[in-house]
Amino acid sequence: MTDETPLLDAWRRARDGRMRPMQIPGHKMRYTRDAAGWSSDLIGDTVRDDVSYQGGVDDNALSHDYLGRAEELWAHAVGADHCRFLLAGSSQGNISAVGVVADQGVPIAIDRTSHRSTQAALVISGAVPVWIYPRIHPEFHLPIGMSAESIRLVDVDVNGFFVTSPSYVGTMSDVAALADAAHERGQALIIDQAWGAHLDFLPGGGAIRQGADMCVTSVHKALTGYSQTAVVSLRGARGFVSRSTLDRWVDLTSTTSPSGTLLASIDGTRAAMERDGSARLALLIEAVAESRRRLSAVRGLIVLDDSNAGCRVDPMKITLILPGTGVDGVALGSWLFDAGHGPESADRDSIVFTVCVTDEPEWVAEFTTLLISALEEQRGEPRAMAPLPVWRVEPEVVVTPRQAFFSERRRVPLREAVGEVSAEQFCPYPPGVPLLAPGERVTQEAVDAILAAARIGRVAYCSDLTLSTIEIIDELRPLHG
Ligand SMILES: Cc1ncc(COP(=O)(O)O)c(C=O)c1O
């Protein structure tokens, strides 16, 4: 543990110094001190604290390597040998981590409930997905973690395993058991821990300490980094993954003009978590537990926790199963958004709230009171739970995502595309898991699920956002290399 913050300190020196660079950034750091700079009414607020890393926090030659030192400190804090700070979120982390074990035409086992960014990794690398599936709760129809058995049962020689934990709804896999199963097969385990950056600072640690070879975490989700910030960490000592390959992938996918401000927020977050993060988390975990207890007393409401989920649940998440109350999660979610307390995600039957280190325990209690009264006010006829298709997609992969991405395509009405092969992604957001992805057979089930998802929220990343048409593969182009 250290209270050293090399990158944050250097960023503060640069911001507070009287720099007037004759190089980029184009805003020249004028708005840091000069609220009356050119068009300040339109520009000032948003770039006030922006200091570029190169030629700002550090010199053009990066002689001080504040970033390298800050990355070492993060790696040490989470039990990794190496890590890289990222400014394109866990999306970039997933692409980079999958890239480490990927190769053109080589199978990789990937959790199909993973975020859409894993598809980008498959397009870029040309790897072939071998989808694996988490267990699904028999009553709540939510993913409840990948079993080690699912890893053992993969009957193809794969180049690595990629699993998402925690899931969007807070359910977690037993990472140590998954790591054992992957290592028995001589393969690496990558964990998308985008939602679980706080786990690294709890007793027992996060995915790396539990045995994963690589781990991706969004610093902006569960912790206090600027939006977009994430870290990919690697424990290479086990010999399953290579540090230089990870660096190559991160460099391939990174901007060459990183924001020193965003990077410094990762350094500051790590130091704050090392200083008193576990004490703070302990208070909030107790507040969430108390909130769950109170919510459990609401008639008909199911509150997801370790006792009913069939797996461990992120102690900072509040996930509610609504059908027994008759409340419509979408309506409740939009009511809460209008009240300024938007949920992480909401569909008709479930709603998810994220609590973070920045919330006070008192606020969690106050929010719980508000939520209970909203649930009572919106109470309706109890109904049966309808499974959400996004957690149960089991696609027929006809061609690789890369082949699909580069193929000749043709647009047809979505409802007439059954039997064709999709050239694009249809992704309800949240949770950002594709219902249909490039290279997958279009089924009637998929079309119905896409249209149903659009009735309750946003379906994104397809070329026709009205969802009347789809691009299907017209002709496969041979891939070279
Ligand atoms: C499981 C998971 N992984 C990765 C990501 C991508 O994270 P980011 O938004 O930091 O790019 C998300 C985004 O919601 C996610 O849910």
Ligand 1 atom with the shortest distance to the CA of 92 = 11
For residues 203 and 224, give the distance between their C-alpha atoms in angstroms, rounded to a whole number: 19
Question: What's the Cα-to-Cα distance from 464 to each of 123, 446, 468, rounded to whole Å?
Answer: 20, 16, 7
Which of 85, 91, 171, 390 has most ligand 1 atoms within 8 Å of CB, for mutation?
91
Are 375 and 332 in contact by the 8 Å Cβ rule? The answer is: yes
C-alpha 93 to ligand 1 mean position (Å):
9
Cis peptide before 258 (omega within 30 of 0): no
d(CA 329, CA 344): 12
C-beta separation of 48 from 26 below 8 A: no
Give the CATH class of 63-260.
Answer: alpha beta
In the three-class reduction of DSSP (H, G, I as helix; E, B as strand; rest coil), residue 461 is classed as coil
Instruction: Please give the torsion angle defined by the CA atoms of residues 401, 83, 194 and 404, in that order, rounded to the nearest 10 degrees.
Output: -10
Ligand 1 pocket test, pick from 115, 255, 317 with the greatest ligand atom count within 8 Å of Cβ, gives 115
User: In this structure, what token pair is assigned to residue 444?
Assistant: 């009637």
Q: How far is the CA of 475 from the centre of ligand 1 (A)?
A: 32
* Alpha-carbon span 201 to 278, nearest angstrom: 6
Q: What averages of pLDDT result for each successive group of 10 residues across the chain (481 residues)? A: 90 90 91 80 91 96 98 98 98 97 94 96 95 96 97 96 98 98 97 98 97 98 98 92 96 97 98 97 98 98 98 98 98 97 96 98 98 98 93 94 95 97 95 95 97 93 96 79 45
SS3 80: coil
- Residue 114 CA: nearest ligand 1 atom is 1
Ligand 1 centroid to 434 CA: how many Å? Answer: 13
Q: What is the pTM for the complete model shown?
A: 0.96
Separation of 31 CA from ligand 1 center, angstroms? 32
Cα 216 to ligand 1 centroid, rounded to whole Å = 9
CATH of 389-475, one of 2.60.120.620, 3.90.100.10, 3.40.50.300, 3.30.470.20: 3.90.100.10
Q: What is the DSSP string of 233-284?
A: EE-GGGSSS-HHHHHHHHHHHS-SS-BHHHHHHHHHHHHHHHHHHHHHHHHH
Residue 88 CA, closest ligand 1 atom number: 11
CA of 115 from ligand 1 middle (Å) equals 6
pLDDT of residue 481: 45
The count of residues in the chain is 481
Query: What are the extents of the domains in the chain?
Result: 63-260, 389-475
Closest by CA position to 318, among listed 330, 328, 309, 327: 309
| Cα 380 to middle of ligand 1, angstroms | 33
Question: How far, in whole angstroms, is CA 271 from its chain's centroid?
Answer: 22
* Atom number of ligand 1 nearest to Cα 220: 10
Are 364 and 438 in contact, with CB atoms under 8 Å apart?
A: no
Query: CB under 6 Å to ligand 1: residues?
Result: 89-91, 94, 115, 117, 164, 168, 192, 194-195, 218, 230, 431-432
Ligand 1, atom 1, residue with closest C-alpha: 115
**Ligand 1 atom 15, closest CA:** 115
In sequence order, the β-bridge partners of residue 303 are 320
- Ligand 1 mean position, distance from CA 39 (Å): 35
> What residue owns the CA closest to ligand 1's atom 7?
90
Contact of 105 with 192, CB cutoff 8 Å? no
Please check whether residue 295 is in contact with residue 288, taking contact to mean a CB–CB distance below 8 angstroms. no
Here the tokens at position 466 are 């009205």
